[in-house]
Amino acid sequence: MVSERALFIINISLGLFSVLLLLMLLGLKLPTLGQAQYALDEEEPVCMIQWQEELTPYQDIDRCCLQARQQFQCRAESKDTVDWMCGSGEGLQIWLNNKAYNYCRQQPYW
Amino acid sequence: MKRKNGSGVQKKVFFALVVVVLFLSILNVVKANGLLIPKQKPVDVDNKIVDLQKMTLEQKIAQMVVVVGDPQNYWPWRNLQLGGIHLFSRQTEHVFNNTVIDFQYQMPIPFFVTADLEGCVSPFGFIREFTPASEVDTVEKAFAKGVEEGQFLHKLGFNLNFAPVVDLKDDIWKCRSFPGDEAKISELAQAYLTGLQTQQVLGTAKHYPGKTLIVKDPHKYVVAAEIGKKDVYPYQYLVEKGEVKAIMVSHVISSGQIDSSGIPAVASKKVLDELRVNYDGLIVSDEIHMLGLKNYYRSLDEVYIAVFKAGNDVVLNFDKDPNEIYNMIQVIKAAVERGEIPLAQIDASVTRILEAKGFRVI
């Protein structure tokens, strides 16, 4: 049914896929699309904390990411220079721009 | 004829490769879920008494680790008999409760179940709002806040809260620190801890040595702060009163009153040894995937060794990958075996942890 040539190409692909799976099994971490996106984005990461009506920039991006992750969810929502809002309920909210959000998503706890 | 033979070989190769791909895919899924991690033998517990000599080194190190209590990692975390699980936000009390019950079921040494419930910072936003620390200005209110939060946490199965914040200034969140000067903050924190701990939930003063909630220079790779006497006062006060059961150390590179000699405080043996002089409670590391900490070392393995070697009793590693947590335990085990980290130090930490969990250690 399938031509010999097509079968040959499928076999080569399966062979490459097997090698990738084997490398992953041995602990190789492949770069992700998110990492590429982050590296290509020339913006500065921005994290803003909103308590009541006040927005304050937060430079410690790692602590910001961890607190954002502890919230129930982050959803796309634009406000000034930020694009993502992370929160649980009505209280404190953490705002991130795309660069910061992509950075946070690369963290092992995300 | 030759063409037919070639096609036959291609078909055989195809079927062989499909089997290989399927097998490797299954192995990868099994590995990703931590199911290839060897199961630890259960810790021998007799009538709430633990014989340290009967614990393996891996079991001891595992007790020092707190991870994220993601139900996806239910088996590996239980198999490794880790020290604790930290829970992020969930939508209902029921989900929190069930997660805790599932994890704790028949564990010889129960997990620490931890949360960051400070008031405005809370994983329980969908369930209940709590008074922000910034609005608590009397000892009575602080005590009541401690009792209220303790009751709530205890009901859900939590036993260790990473609060209160005793940083003197909160320029960023505006709600996490108590109001007032260092003396007032210390009194309020003491009252909060007393209230919280009446409900069988341990409290944690954080983030030692201070100044983690102030606006810093926008330097991407280092979080540094000059620590003054006032910053350390709340810790000295709480230790003196005997009220604080745990202190969390941050990744700030500190100078001044507490000098971490150019490395993150959480990895500084000098800083932790000085803290330990008058204090015998738990020292808890801040979560270890921080840029300030990671950028200081060449590899994660080095971070692990530095943080354990410094003398942290409880190490927060929120990596979702169970294989990485297992790797951390193996790295520390090897460091102890080659004498880089003293076994006596690990034993002392495990003793503090088990005693905090209500066990007697012999």
Do residue B109 and residue B167 come from a single domain? yes
Do residue A43 and residue A88 come from a single domain? yes
What average pLDDT score do residues B107-116 get? 96
Do residue B243 and residue B291 come from a single domain? yes
Does B85 score more than 70 pLDDT? Answer: yes
Judged by CB atoms closer than 8 Å, whether chains meet at B31 and A25 is answered as yes
Distances (CA, A) of B29 to A24, B33, B188, B255: 11, 6, 49, 46
Do residue B6 and residue B151 come from a single domain? no
Count CB pairs under 8 A between chains A and B.
129
Q: Does A19 touch chain B (CB under 8 A)?
A: no
Judged by CB atoms closer than 8 Å, whether chains meet at A7 and B7 is answered as yes
pLDDT of residue B278: 92
Do residue B112 and residue B216 come from a single domain? yes
Does B3 score more than 60 pLDDT? Answer: no
B41 assigned to some structural domain: no
Do residue A13 and residue A51 come from a single domain? no
Do residue B158 and residue B254 come from a single domain? yes
| Mean pLDDT, all residues of chain A | 86
pLDDT of residue B218: 47
Do residue A14 and residue A66 come from a single domain? no
**For chain B, percent of residues with pLDDT exceeding 70:** 95
Query: Which residue range forms the structural domain that includes residue B332?
Result: 46-361
Output Rg (C-alpha) for chain B, integer angstroms: 23
Tell me the per-residue pLDDT of B4-16, one tens digit each, with 9 for 90 and over. Answer: 666 788 889 999 9
Counting the structural domains of chain B, the total is 2
A110 assigned to some structural domain: no
Does B167 score more than 50 pLDDT? Answer: yes
Question: What b/e sequence results for A23-48 when a residue is b if at least 16 CB atoms lie within 10 Å of its CB, and e otherwise?
Answer: ebbeeeeeeeeeeeebeeeeeebbbb
Spatial separation of the C-alpha atoms in residues A60 and A48, rounded to whole Å: 10
Do residue B181 and residue B218 come from a single domain? yes
Do residue A62 and residue A100 come from a single domain? yes
Do residue A26 and residue A40 come from a single domain? no
Do residue B156 and residue B252 come from a single domain? yes
- Max CA separation in chain A (angstroms): 67
Judged by CB atoms closer than 8 Å, whether chains meet at A60 and B216 is answered as yes
The three-point CA angle B151-B154-B158 to 5° equals: 135
pLDDT of residue B325: 97
Do residue B99 and residue B247 come from a single domain? yes
Helix (H, G, I), strand (E, B) or coil at B167: coil
B112 assigned to some structural domain: yes
Do residue A101 and residue A61 come from a single domain? yes
Which of B36-50, B216-230, B247-261 shows the lowest per-residue confidence on average (mean pLDDT)?
A: B216-230
Do residue A67 and residue A86 come from a single domain? yes
Greater confidence (B200 vs B293) lies with: B200
Do residue B281 and residue B259 come from a single domain? yes
Do residue B125 and residue B170 come from a single domain? yes
Cα of B40 vs its chain's centroid, Å: 21
Say if residues B113 and B157 touch (Cβ distance below 8 Å). Answer: yes
Do residue A58 and residue A14 come from a single domain? no
Do residue A9 and residue A57 come from a single domain? no
Do residue B72 and residue B6 come from a single domain? no
Do residue A60 and residue A23 come from a single domain? no
> Which among A43, A51, A85, A110 is the top mutation candidate for probing chain B, defined by the most B β-carbons within 10 Å of its own β-carbon?
A51
What average pLDDT score do residues B118-144 get? 93
Query: Which residue range forms the structural domain that includes residue A65?
Result: 34-105
Do residue A51 and residue A94 come from a single domain? yes
Does B266 score more than 60 pLDDT? Answer: yes
Counting the structural domains of chain A, the total is 2
Instruction: Identify residue B29 by its one-letter amino acid code.
Output: V
Spatial separation of the C-alpha atoms in residues B301 and B306, rounded to whole Å: 9
B25: nearest CB among A21, A71, A108: A21
Domain containing residue B190: CATH number: 3.20.20.300
Residues 33-62 of A with CB under 8 A from B: 49, 51-52, 54, 56-62
> Which among A52, A109, A110 is the top mutation candidate for probing chain B, defined by the most B β-carbons within 10 Å of its own β-carbon?
A109
* B159's tokens: 């036993």
Does B224 score more than 60 pLDDT? Answer: yes
Do residue A99 and residue A73 come from a single domain? yes
A24 assigned to some structural domain: yes
Does B72 score more than 80 pLDDT? Answer: yes
pLDDT of residue B223: 78
Task: Annotate A63-106 with three-state secondary structure.
Answer: HHHHHHHHCCEEEEEEECCEEEEEECCCCCEEEECHHHHHHHHC
